[in-house]
Structure 1
Amino acid sequence: MITKEQIVADYQAIQDEICAALEHLDGVAKFEQELWTREGGGGGRTRVIQNGDILEKGGVNFSAVGGQLPEVMKKALKVDSDDFFATGVSIVIHPNHPLVPIIHMNIRYFEMPSTFGEGKEPVRWFGGGIDLTPHYVVEDDAKFFHKSLKAVCDRFNAGFYNRFKKWADDYFFIKHRDETRGIGGIFYDRLTATEDTSWDDIFEFSKAVGRSFAPVYTELVNRHRNEAFTEQQQQWQYQRRSRYAEFNLVYDAGTKFGLETNGRIESILMSLPPTAKWLYNFQPEAGSEEAKTLSLLKKDINWA
């Protein structure tokens, strides 16, 4: 059986690989690292990149925490045990270019060690996903992104992509705006071993999702980083960032988990953009690229 120590080591390696790839992609900025410990158990490595050639703000964070699970989280997770262990890598990148998309990725593992007694079924699972939030939806980019994710999923289970794509559409939905956060991707939670998928398979899938991040985002950035943009497009970027912030503060489960388990605030809120704007009742001009983007922020679009 895979151990939490093995998961921690491999997740740390993935964090290292992604940071190196993003520094190479940007060409100017370097990650700053802060090591931290959590009161109650564990800690992590927060890595932030800022003010680069294309990457305005981004974080690639690793954590491995444990200890006593707060009562509110026991109820939310529908578990009885007090002890927990969780580890993962979480990424959010905000580019400085309105034609380059925001991207988010997370891979994580959760277990409750006190349930591992003789005759007891262990409570443990993997979760994660990767999704794209373009300021302007470019259909060729959306197709490339989803086809890339489908290829990763299909290596492990023919049903994963459709199942996890729908999950992402439903999860990354801003209910009070009646629009998706972006063009989705894949999202999964509480993924456990089954008759046709072993724990090793799920762990390898988790790592494959993590390692898909760098090549996919590198391609998307390089498609647009040298294109000229207008002040109007920059202002639209700031408006779309405000939607991103709304989702993360109102709905995001990872943000809520971090806050409820006494997580490190700077690491939890690194997902927020450096600059965002809320304009009152803004309505894009009919037929504009902004209006087209809004029309494509819907569930169940078959990009792949």
Structure 2
Amino acid sequence: MFSRENISRDYQIIQDEICRGLEELDGTGKFEEEIWEREGGGGGRTRVIQNGSILEKGGVNFSAVYGKLPEPVKRSFKVDTEDFFATGVSIVIHPNHPMVPIIHMNIRYFEMNEEIRWFGGGIDLTPHYVFEEDGKFFHQQLKKVCDLYSTAFYPQFKTWADDYFFIKHRNETRGIGGIFYDRLTPGGTGLAWEQIFEFSKSVGRCFVPAYTELVNRNRNKKYTENEKNWQYQRRSRYAEFNLVYDAGTKFGLETNGRIESILMSLPPQANWVYNFKPLPGSEEEKTLNFLRKGIDWQL
């Protein structure tokens, strides 16, 4: 049965599955859980892993909140109704190894009434160093998930991710993208509500196998101090995007969300280097050349 209660329950199950998978991947790190309540209605489960063997800092958060929408959010959503319900799982993982990528995933459901409700979400990759084979693998996994529901999903959602995860003031993408979607409804997809919900869960469940493969490909590579410093510099771009542009961060802050859960997406350390210029022909320059829209990772 399709209901907000079933959506919240299944999202909590996915949170459990992902935490178990990430603990197994790391080998030593364990998640700490904090149960919290939101003033105004609802709450969530924040789970954070820190200082693991490969996962330096990561969060796998579940929330189900309800109440009255603030006026800025109502204007942004272009709605007059103020009662809302929102539930989802949000993930950001920062590894300690510069050859292992940052990854983000979010699946969510928003509802105001029977007429105003939708699913949103996505998953994207932010490598410190872009390896073409890893980029192809990642996008192929996402395309497989999308194609199970609609062959139109991947090209549409891939373009959406390119446009969304774009740091305008740097004129570069945050990473190599992935998929991003919002306001999915039967009218916009040709799918029933139950099918869109299944798609949302499939996106959530592709996270662990895809990231496990990418981590294991790169976790034993040697790296230099300069490469570690480059990782800190790329983390600063991630922080800039999340603080300036990310809609989820803005929504959480404007609806009186839990600040520690909202800002768990920020890395444990990031560096800002003044007017950095990569050496011509370097791996850093190669990576920067990949940080643009429209790359076809299916070739």
Same fold, TM-score > 0.5, yes or no? yes
1:63-82 equivalences under 5 Å are 63-82=63-82
1:123-202 equivalences under 5 Å are 123-194=116-187, 196-202=190-196
The alignment yields a C-alpha RMSD, in angstroms, of 0.7
Residue 196 of structure 1 deviates from its aligned partner by: 2.6
Three-state SS of the structure 2 residue aligned to 1:185 is strand
CA deviations 1:61-105 (Å, max 9, x no partner) are 000000011111000111111100000000000000000000000
How many pairs does the alignment contain? 297
Residue 16 of structure 1 deviates from its aligned partner by: 0.1
Whole-angstrom distance in 1 between the partners of 2:45 and 2:278: 41
Name the counterpart of 2:33.
33
1:36-75 equivalences under 5 Å are 36-75=36-75
Three-state SS of the structure 1 residue aligned to 2:249 is helix
Residue 254 of structure 1 deviates from its aligned partner by: 0.1
Three-state SS of the structure 2 residue aligned to 1:298 is coil
Name the counterpart of 2:287.
293
Three-state SS of the structure 2 residue aligned to 1:287 is coil
Three-state SS of the structure 2 residue aligned to 1:275 is coil
Whole-angstrom distance in 2 between the partners of 1:197 and 1:32: 38
Name the counterpart of 1:209.
203
Whole-angstrom distance in 1 between the partners of 2:71 and 2:270: 35
CA deviations 1:235-282 (Å, max 9, x no partner) are 000000000000000000000000000000000000000000001000
**Letter of the structure 1 residue corresponding to residue 40 of structure 2:** G
1:260 to 229, 244, 254: 254
Unaligned runs of 5+ in 2: none
Whole-angstrom distance in 1 between the partners of 2:65 and 2:142: 29
Unaligned runs of 5+ in 1: 117-121
Name the counterpart of 2:3.
3
Give the structure-2-normalised TM-score: 0.99
CA deviations 1:198-255 (Å, max 9, x no partner) are 1111000000000000000000000010111100000000000000000000000000
Residue 112 of structure 1 deviates from its aligned partner by: 0.4
Whole-angstrom distance in 2 between the partners of 1:302 and 1:197: 27
Three-state SS of the structure 2 residue aligned to 1:170 is helix
**Letter of the structure 2 residue corresponding to residue 80 of structure 1:** D
1:104 and 2:104 aligned: yes
**Runs of 4+ residues deviating >2 angstroms:** none
Three-state SS of the structure 2 residue aligned to 1:62 is strand
Name the counterpart of 1:18.
18
Whole-angstrom distance in 1 between the partners of 2:53 and 2:151: 39
Residue 146 of structure 1 deviates from its aligned partner by: 0.2
Whole-angstrom distance in 1 between the partners of 2:99 and 2:27: 19
Whole-angstrom distance in 2 between the partners of 1:82 and 1:249: 26
**Letter of the structure 1 residue corresponding to residue 289 of structure 2:** S
Structure 1 vs Structure 2: percent identity of aligned residues?
A: 74
Whole-angstrom distance in 2 between the partners of 1:295 and 1:71: 41
Name the counterpart of 2:83.
83
CA deviations 1:33-80 (Å, max 9, x no partner) are 000000000000000000000000000000000001111100011111
Whole-angstrom distance in 1 between the partners of 2:244 and 2:166: 11
Whole-angstrom distance in 1 between the partners of 2:57 and 2:252: 20
Three-state SS of the structure 2 residue aligned to 1:36 is strand
Give the structure-1-normalised TM-score: 0.97
Whole-angstrom distance in 1 between the partners of 2:206 and 2:79: 32
CA deviations 1:143-173 (Å, max 9, x no partner) are 0000000000000001000000000000000
Name the counterpart of 1:226.
220
Three-state SS of the structure 2 residue aligned to 1:87 is strand
Three-state SS of the structure 2 residue aligned to 1:269 is helix
Residue 290 of structure 1 deviates from its aligned partner by: 0.1
